[in-house]
A = this chain, B = another copy of it.
């Protein structure tokens, strides 16, 4: 049985955000794409359906309720991705050629070691570390449909 939280209407009501057409459409598009997506690509998918200003507003709404992650790719494209409850902590791999962004889960041992490193840094620099991010850069090989 499919997770109810993945329905746009449920996601919105769970977060006490009013259910509107543009919000449903944007969520649907993000859920359907299923991967990190550039604003540019998202805009092209929504052309004629959601106004540009509304798209940015909806994305901000989703950020505010902490279900949208935003970051910048090495070629300075803004990328967003939904954070679903079922998603586990992960990182990203960027293709320098086609710009594709791929989710990557690293091993628990590695994540534990990273936490230890952060604890060391915290003490040394007297800084309270809340979060981290690991980004990997490289090149898609043969099976990428975008680069060739």
State whether A135 touches B132 (Cβ < 8 A). Answer: yes
**Docked pose: A132 CA to B106 CA in angstroms:** 13
State how many copies of this chain the complex holds.
Answer: 2
**Docked pose: A126 CA to B144 CA in angstroms:** 10
State whether A138 touches B127 (Cβ < 8 A). Answer: yes
**Shortest distance from the beta carbon of A38 to any chain B beta carbon, whole Å:** 14
Interface residues of A in 117-136 (CB under 8 A from B): 117-118, 120-122, 125-136
26 contacts between A and B (CB under 8 A): A93-B129, A102-B127, A104-B125, A106-B121, A107-B117, A107-B120, A109-B113, A114-B134, A121-B136, A126-B140, A126-B141, A126-B142, A126-B143, A128-B138, A128-B139, A129-B136, A129-B137, A130-B139, A131-B136, A132-B134, A132-B135, A132-B136, A132-B137, A133-B135, A133-B137, A134-B134
**Docked pose: A24 CA to B130 CA in angstroms:** 38
Which A residues are closer than 8 A to B by beta carbons?
72, 76, 93, 95-96, 102, 104, 106-107, 109-110, 113-114, 117-118, 120-122, 125-143
